[in-house]
Structure 1
Amino acid sequence: MIRNFFLLFCVGILLSSCKNGNSRKDIVENGQNTGKPNIIFLFSDDQSFKDVHKLGNPEVQTPTMDKFVTEGTTFTHAYNMGGWNGAICVASRAMIISGRSLWRAQQISHQYAQNLELDKTWPRLMQTAGYDTYMTGKWHVEAKPKDIFNYVGHVLRGMPHDTAEGYNRPQSVHDTIWKPWKKEFGGYWQGGRHWSELVKDDAVAFLDSAAIRKKPFFMYVAFNAPHDPRQAPKEYVDRYPLENIKVPDSYMALYPYAETMGAGPDLRDEKLAPFPRTEYAVKVNKQEYYAITSHLDDQLKDIMMALEQSGQKENTYIFYSSDHGLACGEHGLMGKQNMYDHSVRVPLMVIGPDIPANKKVDSDIYLQDVMATALDLAGVEKPTYVEFNSLMELVKNSGSKAEYDGIYGAYEKASQRMIRKDGYKLIVYPKSGIILLYNLKKDPQELNNIAEVPENAAQIKLLFKELMLLQEKMGDQLDLKPIYDLI
């Protein structure tokens, strides 16, 4: 019933006049069958690269995402640059829509709010190549979806409305007020249907109408899951008994630099669990994180089934990624406002025509490269203002190398800076001058800070210089030289 309703809704959109005055006849009969591939971007929120079974986590159940891995190519080291405030997703999505790096994406966002520069956004660029563009789900970008996409489903806020009961919990095994399946707490249940299912229904309806569309399509399908409040039907939570969930190796009761890095107890994300952290609270949060991820995975399965039934799969590229990761108890942190891999590194898979199956690419890239890759596949010449790169050469040619001279990371104007290069990661907390160094080859979980080891002084100075060069390239105006001079 619901699926049929949304199908009629989507067909109704096509039969009606769209905003530029085109009729259904213009869209379907006069639509140019260009032979271009369809492109679907499936986007989650707060999903760490560790939150996929096939990518090394035996605890979480993600059969559809696992299928993305086996049927396509996976970029195992895809990164988000960070954010200018606690809502990291705002910066991540601004970068992917605009093609600009962090600080320039912040600048262009102010123009979007004034309806300026909209013709330079990702969907508008796809339209220049003859694409019908569609969006549904989480947005959180200053530009209004209806102003840059041809068709728009539900537009959801940055995060579901939460309640006080979802914070500072669980205090103990006796703290049972909150249950992820209780609809009275609103959140994902607000409106009566889980938001992940709502977005799925929209996407399926659009795909069901593909048979009457001659233009290639670009779909931007953005889920809020697995962002908190991490709510899912009880059957999904029951899949994850607490005794089967391990406490992370990086677990600690409190992160020692939380205040100086801008992720102290006043930060919303960090309030989700009690201070100091407990092993029990971390395990419960992970249980709910896994449950909403598995629920999301089932929605992805339905979308892929609809694509198959539409007859369009053989001519469609599917990208799957997330806007950033999440600590969820690692390093004593709950949020994503940090430079550790669990929070800046995401899953990124691509499936489609001529994409090698079950291939892994370990080059360091940015998740926003998806935008430039879609332009490449659509035959759109990459504009000079797009700072990210197509991934197709890395997909097709095993001998290719990423074009980035180190991965840059930042949080807020002056709270954190990071560079990842040559197997090392350097993190700087500018407010206090604290420097952390990790050898990622020997210590991929970033458990051992080796910045105080005298033999590493030269490595720190080298990476610090490289970081300042990346700052200049990215338009980052924070002056780190006073800290560098003290090394």
Structure 2
Amino acid sequence: MNNRICLLAMLMLVGVSGLCMPRANAEAARPNILFIFADDMSYETIGAAGILDIDTPNLDQLAKSGTSFTHAYNMGAWGGAVCTASRSMLNTGRFVWNAQASVQPHVSQNRMWSQRMQSAGYQTYFSGKWHVPGANPDGLFHVVKNVRAGMPQQTPQGYNRPRSPEDYATGWKPWDQKYGGFWEGGKHWSEVVADDGVEYLDTATKDEQPFFMYLAFNAAHDPRQSPKEYIDRYPLERIKLPENFLPQYPYADKICGLGLRDEKLMPYPRTEYAVKVNRQEYFALITHMDDQIGRILDALKASGKADNTYIVFTADHGLAVGRHGLSGKQNMYDHSVRVPFLVVGPGVKAGAQIDVPIYLQDVMATSLNLADASTDGVEFKSLLPLLRGESDEHYETIYGAYMNRQRMITKGDWKFLSYPTANVERLFNLKKDPLEMNDLAGNPEYASILADMRTALTALSKEMDDPLLETDAKENNNKKKSKKSSAS
């Protein structure tokens, strides 16, 4: 009898342990998330992309170790600070016209990205550029270090330059710390983010709780400052003038404004010299950031957590830096709306490319899925079906907007641009014309495609609750009232 009782007790103990084990294993198996975010970085500025002559060995290694999404887009912005809209969408999971209201504290309570990760049991960490209005990272992450509210301070000397080699010789220099900017505080801001990331990862070795790290560089935003050794790596003879260079974009005054801050960084008309110098400084700042990312990745490896960590690298939007005669990101060309997007982690195919169009903000839904966290109210989609080879479809069309001045849709091989304030339409075949140099909107041969794209944009705009449709409706009603009044 005693033996039977002992056996029964043992079976019960095993049964209880067995019930607990799957939960404990699930807890241990939950992956860490390391999100590395750049600012103002176009899709073409990673060496592994094979488009530009630029040194990014650590990002190249990420691309080799994981999967690259070649067509990752930002949806647009409601104002000149495109990064504000991009980061608001990123942290709320809401599409562009819903995100502005969603970031307000009374709306976003317990629904922001970091809060959802916390609810799933994650230790959350933040360092770097935030720039989400109506929200404070101090109340959204467990650990917060060195928050940068927006861009590094630009100085008057950093605009309208360089006008000539002589002007450059006596003017603003990227490595001169007296201008502040990235040098404010005594250490380059990219190095500060790396320091913070390394410090946190050093402590992660002692903690079994999964982590969500959000490391946001200000690079490669202007003022494009880096140590002189990085500038020296890009002599001007190494810098190629973009094929789609223009002295001035013909519709710049209508679609963004010649006085827009970003557009005032280089002199008008754009010159080959000014564009090459600005691109030199752009590439140097990216290479400097790449070295800092290498330090973070080394610390992750040393922590022993790398095998159970998903790494995502992307940026909030791209940048023109001389393409199409533009300087900034307030346009719908691929150089400004497309970004690099790299994923490395357990089960992610190494050295792979996925050409299916995505939005960069899909990273939020993807990480929530990995964490088994709530995606209630999130409008962007998880990338896991694409990464796992379970699907080759994602978004049928990609939408883009800038204030009330620009609208975009890409569908298949085609991109359609509408400039309402300029009464201009543009049509490009992205497969044949990836640099968007051959506008087909005025070619009668493509009239049916133009009409189809126009119709598709209107339909997608309705899905997005585009405020421009409401404005157009009011204007049409006013015109009808005016005609009736004249007739009477």
Which letter does structure 1 place at the counterpart of 2:290?
Answer: D
Query: Distance in 2 between the 1:446 and 1:468 partners?
Result: 22
1:411 corresponds to which residue? 402
SS at match of 2:166: coil
2:176 corresponds to which residue? 182
Report the CA distance shift for 1:307/1:107 in structure 2 as closer, same or farther (over 3 A).
same
Matched, 1:133 2:124: yes
1:92 corresponds to which residue? 86
1:155 corresponds to which residue? 147
Displacement of 1:33? 4.4
Q: Deviations over 1:39-91 (max 9, x none)?
A: 01000000000111110234110000101110000000000001111100000
Write out aligned runs for 1:321-332 (5 A). 321-332=314-325
Q: TM-score, normalised by structure 1?
A: 0.90
Q: Deviations over 1:239-292 (max 9, x none)?
A: 001011110000010000001112x22100000000000000000000000000
SS at match of 2:356: coil
Query: Distance in 2 between the 1:274 and 1:440 partners?
Result: 29
Query: Distance in 2 between the 1:417 and 1:308 partners?
Result: 43
Matched, 1:236 2:230: yes
Displacement of 1:452? 0.3
Contact (CA 8 Å) 1:365, 1:402: kept in 2 or not? no
1:12 corresponds to which residue? none
Contact (CA 8 Å) 2:193, 2:216: kept in 1 or not? yes
Matched, 1:313 2:270: no
2:163 corresponds to which residue? 171
SS at match of 1:260: helix
SS at match of 2:165: coil
Displacement of 1:424? 0.4
1:204 corresponds to which residue? 198
Query: Distance in 1 between the 2:185 and 2:412 partners?
Result: 49
Query: Distance in 2 between the 1:75 and 1:215 partners?
Result: 29
Identity among equivalent positions (%) equals 51
Matched, 1:475 2:465: yes
1:354 corresponds to which residue? 347
Contact (CA 8 Å) 2:194, 2:292: kept in 1 or not? yes
Which letter does structure 1 place at the counterpart of 2:458?
Answer: M
Matched, 1:49 2:39: no
Which letter does structure 2 place at the counterpart of 1:131?
Answer: Y
Query: Distance in 1 between the 2:369 and 2:309 partners?
Result: 14
Report the CA distance shift for 1:403/1:396 in structure 2 as closer, same or farther (over 3 A).
same
1:363 corresponds to which residue? 356
Query: Distance in 2 between the 1:364 and 1:35 partners?
Result: 30
1:8 corresponds to which residue? none
Query: Distance in 1 between the 2:39 and 2:356 partners?
Result: 23
Query: Distance in 1 between the 2:211 and 2:237 partners?
Result: 45
Contact (CA 8 Å) 2:251, 2:422: kept in 1 or not? no
Query: Distance in 2 between the 1:395 and 1:409 partners?
Result: 24
Contact (CA 8 Å) 2:396, 2:411: kept in 1 or not? yes
1:456 corresponds to which residue? 446
Query: Distance in 2 between the 1:168 and 1:235 partners?
Result: 24
SS at match of 1:417: strand
Write out aligned runs for 1:210-249 (5 A). 210-249=204-243
Query: Distance in 2 between the 1:116 and 1:468 partners?
Result: 28
Displacement of 1:405? 2.1
Which letter does structure 1 place at the counterpart of 2:83?
Answer: C
Query: Distance in 1 between the 2:441 and 2:107 partners?
Result: 45
Report the CA distance shift for 1:78/1:235 in structure 2 as closer, same or farther (over 3 A).
same
Unaligned runs of at least 5 residues, structure 2 = 1-23, 477-488
Query: Distance in 1 between the 2:453 and 2:388 partners?
Result: 31
SS at match of 1:120: coil
Which letter does structure 1 place at the counterpart of 2:132?
Answer: V
Query: Distance in 2 between the 1:58 and 1:465 partners?
Result: 36
Query: Distance in 2 between the 1:202 and 1:252 partners?
Result: 41
SS at match of 1:420: strand
Q: Deviations over 1:207-264 (max 9, x none)?
A: 00002212100000000000000000000000001011110000010000001112x2
Query: Distance in 2 between the 1:396 and 1:466 partners?
Result: 30
Query: Distance in 2 between the 1:415 and 1:306 partners?
Result: 45
Contact (CA 8 Å) 1:251, 1:331: kept in 2 or not? yes
Q: Deviations over 1:434-485 (max 9, x none)?
A: 000001111011011010000111111111111111111111121397999x
Q: TM-score, normalised by structure 2?
A: 0.90
| Corresponding residue to 1:145 among 137, 141, 154 | 137
Contact (CA 8 Å) 2:33, 2:367: kept in 1 or not? yes
Larger Rg: 2
Mean Cα displacement is larger for which, 173-182 or 32-41? 32-41
| Corresponding residue to 2:281 among 278, 288, 292 | 288
Displacement of 1:116? 4.2
Query: Distance in 2 between the 1:52 and 1:341 partners?
Result: 15
SS at match of 1:462: helix
1:9 corresponds to which residue? none
Query: Distance in 2 between the 1:48 and 1:379 partners?
Result: 31
Which letter does structure 2 place at the counterpart of 1:165?
Answer: Q
| Corresponding residue to 1:425 among 388, 391, 415 | 415
Displacement of 1:401? 2.3
The RMSD of aligned alpha carbons is 1.7
Query: Distance in 1 between the 2:208 and 2:244 partners?
Result: 52
Contact (CA 8 Å) 2:35, 2:311: kept in 1 or not? yes
Contact (CA 8 Å) 1:118, 1:148: kept in 2 or not? no
Which letter does structure 2 place at the counterpart of 1:361?
Answer: I
Query: Distance in 2 between the 1:356 and 1:270 partners?
Result: 40
